[in-house]
Each structure stands twice: as C-alpha cells, then as structure tokens.
C-alpha cells in the first residue's frame, strides 16, 4: 500500500510518544463500542432465532430493540468505530515504519470489513422495521379491504402479490444481512486483534509479516476469546440498564418475559464476567517476555480485582433479581477496557523499544539531511575537507593552476574574513590574467569554514 508508506513522515521520539497516546485514546473509544456492537448483534440474533423457533412475538420484539439500541445513532458508529480504527491505521504506519510489517494494511482491511459489517447491521435494522410494516399492512389489507372486495366482487390481486413478494424479499435480506453482518464483524475484530498482537510481539516480526502470522497465534486467539467474553459481559450490563431501569421501556412486555430476559442478561453477564479472568491471565501468559514489565503486571492485578468486583455485583443482582448495580457495572467495564488497553499498549511500547530507537535514529538522519539542505548544521564543518574537496582542483598555495596561487591572493584578505566569505559565495571577475572563478555553490557555513581554513593556513605557511 503505497499511500500508507507515503503517509509516513519521520517523527522525533517526542512525536512518537504523542502518537502512542493517541493510539491508546483511539482504542479506549473503539474497544467498548465494538464490544457492545458485537454483543447486541449476537444477542439480537439469538432472540430472533428463539422467536422463529417458538413463534413468540415478544422475543422478536426484544431482538429488534436490541439492534435498535446499538444503532441509535450513525454518528456514533462513525466516531467510535470507523474513525478510531482509521487513526490506528495511520498511527501504526508511523510506529512500525521500516519494520517491514504489514500491520497497517491488515488494519485497513479490518476497517473495510467493519464498514461492510456496519452497512449490513443497518440493513438488518431497517429490514426488521420494514418486515413489521409489511406484516402490519398485510393484516390491514386483510381486515379492511376483504370486506369491500367481497362486496364489489373484484380483488386487487396485483397489490396482494406485490406485497407478498416484497415481504418475502425483505425477509431473506433481513436474515442474510444479520448473519453476514455478524461474520464480517467477527472477521474485522479478529484481524484487528491479530494485527495488534503481531505488532506487540517483536519475536514474531521476522516470520509474521504475512497474513498467516496475523491469524494464527496464541495471543490472537486468547485475546479474541477475551474480547467475546468481555463483549457479552458489558452488553448484558447495558441491556439491564437500558431495559430494566424504572420505567425504561419493557412496559408492553408480559411479566414472564421481563423476568426471562432479565435473568438471561444477569446470567450471561455473570458467566462471562467469571470466565474473563481466565482469559486475562492467559493473555498475559501468551505475551512475549520482552513485552512484560512491572507496570503491565500491576495493571493486570487491578484488572483482575475489578473483574472480581464486577462478577460480585452481577451475582448480588442475580440473587436479588434486581438491576440496581447495572450502571455501576457499565462504568466498571469502561474502566476495565481502559485498563486493558493501557496494559497492552504499555506492553507494546516495552517490546518495541528497539523499533522506537531505530525510528529515532532514522529521524536523526532525516533531520540532518533536512538541515544540510538548508545549510544549517549542528555538526562542525571542516574547512580542510572543503578545501581538499572543492578548491584543490584549481588552487594551490604556491603554484598557479587554473586559479591564482593563494600566497598571491591571500595578503589582501588578511583580517578580512567577511570579504573572503563574500567572494567565495559569489565570485566576481578580478584579475584579467585569469578566467572568472565559477561559483562553487557553497552554503554560508561552508564558505566560512573554507575562508577560515585559508586564512589560518596562509598565516602558517608564509
């Protein structure tokens, strides 16, 4: 991907620190959003299948509300899903520059899958509503016009057929968009996790620059499981909060279903929160030793403690069949996601210290070239080198070559370095016995060094 390479500008190590913070921020927005998106979509599909099996309308209604819950705002999908992922593409392109890793490209592919998944999820949502409208209008049609048709003796077959046809179409589009949406979302998430894990594991850099290395690694797998458990846990808390707060929306539901859905969310929340610590520990074990540090361990302990707290809260709620801690659990999970991101990014920085040093050196080179280009230099310029490289072809101290010997011309410049520099920078015709001296294209600091060298050497030699 050329344009990704072109987007890379050598960065100073200070800028790289800034980039790393931005990356952290992007993930802190992206991961909770994508978790709740995945969780709601899965639960929505689960309840839809249940509705198809049992024919119970209430499951279907809940399935629809779940998908409406996460698609409340397209701006959110853009700001919390697309933009952070796109930023991480560019951040990684900078941070992994010269490493030969294709991570930014895989992240870009992950982004394309995410966009496709979002498109399908929105189709799923709209076809849900469309299907309802079709069903409703068919019913209306039956009830209202059947009478009239009987009286008039003519039926509007065309309209009936059209209704049936589009109803069917919408139905199959609905089914497919949900399933493919889920698959695309999973592919996007897996690619994202695999890429981020590969970037953090320098020991796999040499072999891992192909897609295989991204997809098949222990750490990618454990992080994927961690993601799924966390997604179910946080989505359960969101469901409890969204639907079971006092007067929050499930009014039309029968008491049995309310209880069923509540205990479903409490149970799956509790189970996934209990499963999570195992994945968090596995994730630490699957990390390369080079990425571990005291702070990574410290944050892991905090994460485990927060998980313990979250599972106790779920447990208490399940026991009391209440939802009183649901908002606390949501905050806990947002905190947990932030800690997990910080922990993993710290591990990434620890293991890529060498890469950072390499880029800093590259930046040093770049900076030097840039300065040279404008004649600004921090390194001392050697007048002797310039003389030997640029002047010796036409000048010597005591012999006439193309230009006059220096012992002839230097007397008039003694103590007038500025004038000498001015001449060297911009030679003018002086002596009719000689041709004009061509401009040597020296930068001010170089001309100055050459002038100094000439004056000193002349002093010594005379």
Interacting span for ligand HEC (CB under 6 A) from 172-180, 191-199, 307-315, 394-402: 394-402
Residues 417/421/426/432 CA torsion (nearest 10 deg): 40
Site membership for ligand HEC, residue 430 (CB under 6 A): yes
Site membership for ligand HEC, residue 440 (CB under 6 A): yes
Q: What angle do CA 334, 337, 340 make, to 5 degrees?
A: 150
Segment holding 107, helix H or strand E: helix 103-140
Site membership for ligand HEC, residue 437 (CB under 6 A): yes
Which DSSP category does 248 fall into?
A: S
Residue 389: CB minimum distance to ligand HEC, A: 8
Q: Which listed residue (27, 101, 404, 449) binds ligand HEC by CB under 6 A? A: 404
Q: Which listed residue (164, 357, 402, 462) binds ligand HEC by CB under 6 A? A: 402
Identity of the residue, 20 or 395, whose beta carbon is nearer to ligand HEC in the bound complex:
395
Interacting span for ligand HEC (CB under 6 A) from 77-85, 225-233, 328-336, 400-408: 400-408
Q: What is the DSSP string of 364-427?
A: HHHHHHHHHHTT--SSPP-HHHHIIIIITTT--SSS-SSSPPHHHHGGGGTT-HHHHHHHHHS-
Residue 406: CB minimum distance to ligand HEC, A: 7
Site membership for ligand HEC, residue 160 (CB under 6 A): no
Site membership for ligand HEC, residue 429 (CB under 6 A): yes
Site membership for ligand HEC, residue 449 (CB under 6 A): no
Tokens of 215: 């997809």
**Residues 336-375, mask of contacts with ligand HEC (x by CB under 6 A):** ----------------------------------------
Burial of 355 (0-12, 13-18, 19+ CB in 10 A): buried
Site membership for ligand HEC, residue 438 (CB under 6 A): yes
Tokens of 84: 């952070």
- Residue 380's nearest CA partner among 443, 424, 446 is 446
Q: Residue 147, SS3?
A: helix
Cα–chain-centroid distance for residue 272? 26
Site membership for ligand HEC, residue 458 (CB under 6 A): no
Please state, in angstroms and rounded to a whole number, the distance separating the CA atoms of residues 334 and 30. Answer: 11
Residue 380: CB minimum distance to ligand HEC, A: 17
Site membership for ligand HEC, residue 281 (CB under 6 A): no
Give me the residues that bind ligand HEC (CB under 6 A), please.
390-391, 393-395, 402-404, 409, 420, 423-424, 429-431, 434-438, 440, 442, 450
């Amino acid at each position: 991907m050329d344009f990704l390479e072109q987007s890379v500008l050598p960065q100073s190590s200070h800028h790289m620190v800034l980039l790393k913070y931005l990356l952290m921020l992007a993930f802190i927005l992206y991961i909770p959003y994508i978790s709740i998106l995945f969780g709601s979509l899965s639960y929505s599909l689960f309840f839809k299948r249940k509705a198809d099996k049992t024919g119970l309308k209430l499951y279907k209604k809940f399935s629809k509300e779940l998908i409406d819950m996460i698609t409340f705002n397209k701006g959110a999908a853009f700001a919390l899903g697309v933009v952070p992922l796109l930023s991480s593409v560019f951040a990684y392109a900078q941070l992994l520059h010269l490493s030969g890793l294709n991570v930014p490209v895989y992240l870009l592919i992950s982004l394309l899958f995410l966009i496709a998944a979002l498109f399908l999820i929105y189709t799923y949502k709209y076809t849900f509503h469309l299907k309802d409208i079709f069903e409703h209008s068919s019913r209306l049609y039956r009830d209202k016009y059947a009478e009239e048709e009987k009286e008039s003796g003519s039926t509007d077959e065309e309209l009936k057929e059209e209704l049936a046809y589009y109803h069917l179409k919408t139905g199959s589009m609905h089914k497919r968009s949900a399933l493919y949406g889920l698959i695309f979302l999973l592919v996007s998430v897996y690619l994202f996790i695999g890429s981020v894990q590969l970037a953090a594991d320098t020991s796999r850099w040499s072999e891992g620059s192909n897609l295989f290395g991204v997809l098949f690694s222990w750490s990618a797998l454990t992080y994927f499981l961690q993601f799924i458990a966390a997604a179910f846990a946080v989505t359960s808390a969101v469901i409890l909060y969204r639907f079971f707060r006092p007067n929050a929306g499930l009014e039309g539901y029968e008491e049995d279903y309310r209880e069923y859905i509540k205990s479903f969310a409490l149970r799956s929340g509790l189970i996934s929160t209990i499963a999570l610590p195992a994945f968090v520990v596995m994730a630490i074990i699957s990390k390369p030793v080079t990425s571990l540090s005291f702070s990574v361990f410290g944050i892991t302990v905090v994460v485990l403690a927060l998980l313990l707290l979250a599972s106790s809260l779920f447990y208490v709620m399940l026991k009391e069949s209440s939802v009183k801690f649901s908002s606390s659990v949501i905050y806990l999970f947002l905190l947990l996601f932030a800690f997990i991101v910080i922990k993993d990014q710290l591990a990434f920085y620890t293991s890529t210290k060498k890469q950072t040093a390499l880029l800093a050196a590259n930046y040093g080179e770049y900076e030097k070239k840039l300065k040279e280009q404008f004649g600004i230099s921090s390194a001392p310029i050697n007048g002797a080198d310039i003389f030997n490289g640029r002047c010796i072809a036409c000048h010597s101290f005591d012999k006439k070559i193309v230009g006059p010997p220096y012992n002839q011309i230097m007397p008039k410049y003694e103590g007038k370095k500025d004038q000498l520099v001015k001449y060297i920078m911009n030679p003018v015709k002086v002596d009719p016995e000689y041709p004009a001296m061509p401009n040597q294209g020296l930068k001010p600091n170089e001309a100055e060094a050459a002038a100094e060298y000439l004056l000193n050497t002349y002093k010594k030699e005379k």
